[in-house]
Structures are given as C-alpha cells and as structure tokens.
C-alpha cells in the first residue's frame, strides 16, 4: 500500500458490530467477562482500548513499523523510551532539541543515574567520539527544534548498530510523509502526535513505533505499567487527523518554501533557518532523507535585536503567538521564552537559540495572506 492510501486505511478494519467506517469511540474503562479471563481481548483500558488500538495500528502502518504505541503526550512517549534504561547507562543526544525533552533528561532521568551527552550531530561521526560501553541509546531529533539542523539518520544508525546501541528518532517535525526513520535504520520512532499527526491543535498525544517484537513488548510493558496512555476521544481525533496528513503536509511544504524564500530576501531579517536552502549546511542530507523540507522555519531579525523580534511577533495577525506547531493554522513562537525556556540561556545560545529567534509553524492558509501578514508585521 502506498503512503497516501496508508494514512487513510493503514492498519484499519471496519467496526465488527455495525460496520462503522470510523472506529467508534469506546469510552469505557473496563470490559465485561463471562468468567475470569473470559473476555473478547479487552480487560481494562489502561492496557488496551479498541479506539486506541486502531490508532496504534495506523501509527505502525504510516511509519512502516510493525508495532505502534500511543501515549498521553509526546513527553510521556519519550519517558517510556528512557525507562528502557538502567542507572549507569548513557545516552548521546542532539544538543539542539525540544526544551521539554532536555528538561525530562536533565531534571528527571539524570537524578535516576542516567548520563546524557548533548552533542552536535550534524557531523554524524561526532557521535562515535562519545560512545563507550555504557552507551545504550542515541537520541536524534531531525530537523532539530528550533534550529532546523539535519542529522544523517542512516549514518547514526550505522554507528548504533556497530555498537549495539538503540537509535531513537523524534520525527515530530518531519512526519512519515517526509521521512521514515525506521527505513533508514532507526529502532524507535517517536512523535509528539499533538503536532502534525493530529494536525488540528485539538489533542495532546505521543506515539512510538518500532519494528522489533521484543522491543515492542518491552515498551508495551512500560506503557501499561507506568500508565501514561491517551483516552479514546483523543485517539479518535488523532486517527481522523492522520487521514489528511499527506494533503496537509504537501501544503505545509509549499507554504513553508514560499515563506522561507520571502524572509531570506527581506531587509529586516538576519538569518533564516530552513533545510530547503541549498546553502543550508545539511541541505544534501535533508534532500537525501526527506521528501520535501516541511513547514517549520526559524529566523532572527536584523542585528539580532530582541525588541525588534518581540515587536514583529506582537504585530502578526494571521500567525497566532502560541506554543506548539504542526496544526492547520499558522503559529509563531519565541523559543527563548517559550518552548526552550527550560534550557539555560548559555546552553541554548551555544546552539543558536538567541533572544531574537522567532519560530514559525507555517499553516495551510492561503499563502498570500501569510506573506501579507509577515510583511506588515516586519514593516
């Protein structure tokens, strides 16, 4: 089945009771048993729920995986991955990453005796320098949030496999429409399904997808034992969102390209970060592992002026200033004070997250309205 068909049908069956085309929202915590253990495959909704299962099958299908798991948020999904580890284990992570992932790693799991190395991975060979006998996980975000760096997943996977290390990729920004990490050698794909997969800014959710049965079973155990699952209503919403992922992503990419090209020529802009530019340092890798370049763009205002950046943000009318990304509507954010506020200033500035940086999640509105909005905000 091709991707555009998978988003609609992948892993789905028509409802067995009445043939409903969409899986019903099974708003139930428990299931009747005729005798202890005499049930129809469902005992308790922390463990399994038919609506969540339909979504989990869709996750697996669109990422070319065998097993999908849905969680109450992206961070809950990441939390489950790190729970595969033990005290003394080490993780090598991209140094430019979502602030909440950094916070989870450094403020929670570091205290449990897990060591994290945050490194630049644009040269994948740099990963090798940090590998030792305790390394159990390589954590890759690509494109990175918010600097839009690109990490070579195939190269990272080669290093992971040679050293018997798990490779997990946060595929939130790219989505499987643009890039399929499992096909490139990753062991685990993670999503904040809150973003493009859901696509309508109406649900908070996380996803994990794997190919390996044993790894899936370990993660299912953690999902059930820790209990950070999502409810049936949100499962339904995200499943519905996935059905239009391909058409939404196509428009996100078209609008993203038009806006990146507009910004780069604007006299009031200093830097534009978007992997579609031929002079983006990782453009060739982006071209080889992504189908297109997405709708996420970061930029700084001329002279890296903080006040100018804030004024621009406040002037925007069609773009809404809000946390999050990946919805049909265009959003803008100020990473230093919003999504990345939990990263110390000197740490975030090392990777380029300066006070004048603005991040855009370009939506699927009419491109003329978006450009007019940016023009007036910058003007």
Ligand X SMILES: Cc1ncc(COP(=O)(O)O)c(C=O)c1O
As annotated, the active-site residues are 46, 98, 170, 195
Binding of ligand X by 74 (CB under 6 A): yes
In the region spanning residues 3 to 42, those forming contacts with ligand X, defined by CB under 6 A, are: none
Q: Which of 56, 141, 187, 373 binds ligand X (CB under 6 A)?
A: 141
Q: Which of 23, 65, 68, 100 binds ligand X (CB under 6 A)?
A: 100
Binding of ligand X by 192 (CB under 6 A): yes
Question: How much is the CA Rg of the chain, to the nearest whole Å?
Answer: 21
Binding of ligand X by 351 (CB under 6 A): no
Binding of ligand X by 79 (CB under 6 A): no
Binding of ligand X by 57 (CB under 6 A): no
The span of 69-77, 80-88, 208-216, 299-307 binding ligand X (CB under 6 A) equals: 69-77
Shortest reach from residue 354's CB to ligand X, in Å: 19
In the region spanning residues 306 to 345, those forming contacts with ligand X, defined by CB under 6 A, are: 339
Instruction: Please report, for residues 118, 239, 372, the alpha-carbon distance to residue 376 in angstroms, rounded to integers and kept in the order given.
Output: 39, 37, 6
Instruction: Please report, for residues 153, 161, 274, 371, the alpha-carbon distance to residue 158 in angstroms, rounded to integers and kept in the order given.
Output: 9, 5, 26, 42
Binding of ligand X by 98 (CB under 6 A): yes
How many CB atoms sit inside 10 A of residue 2's CB? 7
Distance CA 363, CA 370 (A): 9
The phi, psi pair for 192, rounded to 5°, reads -85, 100
Residue nearest to ligand X (CB): 74
Q: Of 146 and 308, which CB lies nearer to ligand X in the complex structure?
A: 146
Shortest reach from residue 274's CB to ligand X, in Å: 16
Shortest reach from residue 79's CB to ligand X, in Å: 9
In the chain, the N- to C-terminal Cα span, in Å, equals 48
Give DSSP secondary structure letters for 14-73: --TTT--SSPP----SB---SSTT-SSS-SBTTT--HHHHHHHHHHHHHTT-SEEEEESS
Binding of ligand X by 206 (CB under 6 A): yes
Distance CA 15, CA 150 (A): 41
Site string for ligand X, 143-172 (x = CB under 6 A): --x------------------------x-x
Q: Of 12 and 175, which CB lies nearer to ligand X in the complex structure?
A: 175
Cα dihedral 54, 55, 58, 60 sign = negative
Distance CA 51, CA 22 (A): 9
Distance CA 227, CA 210 (A): 19
Number of amino acids touching ligand X (CB under 6 A) = 16
In the region spanning residues 227 to 256, those forming contacts with ligand X, defined by CB under 6 A, are: none
The binding site for ligand X (CB under 6 A) comprises 73-75, 98, 100-101, 141, 145, 170, 172-173, 192, 194, 204, 206, 339
């Amino acid at each position: 089945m091709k991707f555009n068909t998978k988003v609609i049908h992948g892993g789905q069956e028509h409802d067995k009771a009445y043939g409903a085309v969409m899986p019903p929202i099974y708003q139930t915590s428990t299931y009747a048993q005729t005798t202890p253990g005499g049930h129809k495959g469902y005992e308790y909704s922390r463990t399994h729920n038919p609506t969540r299962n339909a979504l989990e099958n869709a996750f697996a299908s669109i990422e070319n995986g065998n097993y999908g798991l849905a969680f109450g948020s992206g961070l809950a999904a990441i939390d489950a991955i790190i729970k595969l580890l033990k005290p003394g284990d080490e993780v090598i992570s991209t140094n430019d990453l979502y602030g909440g992932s950094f916070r989870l790693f450094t403020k929670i799991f570091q205290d449990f005796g897990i060591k994290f190395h945050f490194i630049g991975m644009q040269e994948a060979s740099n990963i090798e320098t940090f590998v030792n006998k305790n390394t159990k996980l390589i954590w890759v975000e690509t494109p990175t949030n918010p600097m839009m760096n690109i990490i070579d997943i195939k190269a990272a996977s080669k290093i992971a496999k040679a050293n018997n290390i798990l490779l997990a990729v946060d595929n939130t920004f790219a989505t499987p429409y643009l890039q399929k990490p499992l096909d490139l050698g990753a062991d685990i794909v993670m999503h904040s399904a809150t973003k493009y997969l859901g696509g309508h800014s109406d649900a908070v959710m996380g996803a994990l997808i794997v190919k390996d049965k044993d790894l899936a079973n370990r993660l299912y155990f953690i999902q059930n034992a820790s209990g950070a699952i999502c409810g049936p209503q949100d499962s339904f919403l995200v499943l519905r969102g996935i059905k239009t992922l391909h058409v939404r992503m196509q428009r996100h990419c078209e609008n993203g390209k038009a806006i990146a090209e507009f910004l780069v020529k604007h006299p009031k802009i200093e830097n534009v970060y978007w992997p579609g530019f031929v002079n983006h340092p990782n453009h060739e890798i982006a071209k080889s592992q992504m189908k297109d370049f997405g709708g996420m763009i970061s930029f700084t205002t001329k002279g890296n002026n903080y006040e100018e950046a804030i004024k621009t943000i406040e002037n925007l009318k069609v773009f809404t200033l809000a946390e999050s990304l990946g919805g049909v509507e265009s959003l803008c954010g100020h990473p230093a004070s919003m999504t990345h506020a939990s990263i110390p200033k000197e740490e975030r500035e090392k990777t380029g997250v300066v006070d004048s940086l603005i991040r855009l999640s370009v939506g699927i509105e009419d491109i003329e309205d978006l450009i007019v909005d940016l023009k007036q905000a910058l003007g």
